Amino acid sequence: MADSYCADCKRLTEVVFDHSAGDTICSECGLVLEAYSVDETSEWRIFANESSDHDPVRVGGPLNPLLSDGGLSTVIAKPTAGGSTELLSGSLGKLQARGSHPDRNLIQAFKSISAMSDRSNARYGCFRLGLVTTIKRRFCSNLGMTNQAVKAAQEAVQKSEDLDIRRSPISVAAAVIYIITQLSNDTKPLKEISIVTRVAEGTIKNVYKDLFPHLARIIPDWFANEEDIKNLKL
């Protein structure tokens, strides 16, 4: 309920909204203060054939200002057995495809960008797996690190992905390896790590500074305790 001025009551009174009729009614005298008002809230009723529809909103897709029609044009399709849709075939489908759309090339470009994005995400899953393998086989093995230190380095690199560290993954991996070796009984000189990882010593130092405030978060607690981490020096 809300308050509004009622001409009959000659004061502010609580009003009731009748959404079905679009009326605003005084709760005390029943006077219709406003009629046929437009309800601008979302429509939540489900009109789909299946009641298990997870998205009952009927407001449609968002307006796309990049398209001349706002992206609100209609394309006729038919449902498939799997619950998805496909474009019509036959004469009606040909007519629909033949119709001139001013944004046809732009729409096709959007589809291409979306497909490229999907492929990029797949390349990234692959990239992470390759990076973890590289840390173990090429970097850590060439440095003669123990299995425990290798595992700790891999976990720390994976946890560092949640941080806003704007460095290349290889640079982060090199800095993490340096940190892990400093926390172990078998420390490795910075120069040796730089040669094996092919990351400049200065870059490793800079990434180390970026990671330093987050070490307690990324270093596995089974490998080093907080006291050991606090004893590290910048």
DSSP letter string, 130-152:
HHHHHIIIIIIHHHT--HHHHHH
Q: How far apart are CA 75 and CA 84, in angstroms?
A: 14
Kindly state the tokens that stand for 36: 């046929």
Q: State whether residue 191 is helix, strand or coil.
A: helix
Residues 17-31 have a mean pLDDT of 76
Residues 166-185 have a mean pLDDT of 91
Residues 139-155 have a mean pLDDT of 91
Would you list the DSSP string of 54-123?
S----S-SPP-TTSTTTT-----EEE-TTS-EEE--HHHHHHHHHS--TTHHHHHHHHHHHHHHHHHHHH
> How far from 230 is each of 13, 30, 73, 227, CA to CA, in Å?
65, 72, 61, 5
| pLDDT value for 182 | 94
* Contact criterion met (CB below 8 Å) for 27 and 17: no
Amino acid letter, 20: S
Kindly state the tokens that stand for 60: 């449609």
- Alpha carbon 35 to its chain centroid, in Å, reads 44
The tens digit of pLDDT for each residue in 96-134 reads 555 555 666 666 666 776 666 566 555 556 556 566 677
Query: Over the range 163-186, which residues count as b (16 or more CB within 10 Å of their CB) and which as e?
Result: eebebebbbbbbbbbbbbbbbbee
Kindly state the tokens that stand for 76: 């006729």
- pLDDT bin (cut points 50, 70, 90) of residue 86 is low
The answer, yes or no, to whether residue 217 has pLDDT greater than 90, is: yes
The answer, yes or no, to whether residue 82 has pLDDT greater than 70, is: no
The answer, yes or no, to whether residue 53 has pLDDT greater than 70, is: no
| pLDDT value for 105 | 66
The answer, yes or no, to whether residue 29 has pLDDT greater than 70, is: yes
* Contact criterion met (CB below 8 Å) for 153 and 135: yes
Global confidence as pTM: 0.50
- pLDDT bin (cut points 50, 70, 90) of residue 143 is very high
Q: How far apart are CA 196 and CA 88, in angstroms?
A: 58
Kindly state the tokens that stand for 115: 């497909």
Could you tell me which residue, 216 or 111, shows the higher pLDDT?
216
- pLDDT bin (cut points 50, 70, 90) of residue 80 is low
Among 7-11, 39-43, 51-55, 117-121, whose mean pLDDT is lowest?
51-55
The answer, yes or no, to whether residue 11 has pLDDT greater than 60, is: yes
Among 33-42, 53-62, 77-86, 215-224, whose mean pLDDT is lowest?
53-62
The answer, yes or no, to whether residue 40 has pLDDT greater than 90, is: no
Residues 172-180 have a mean pLDDT of 94
| pLDDT value for 202 | 92
* Average pLDDT, rounded, for the chain: 76
Q: How far apart are CA 90 and CA 210, in angstroms?
A: 61
Residues 167-171 have a mean pLDDT of 86
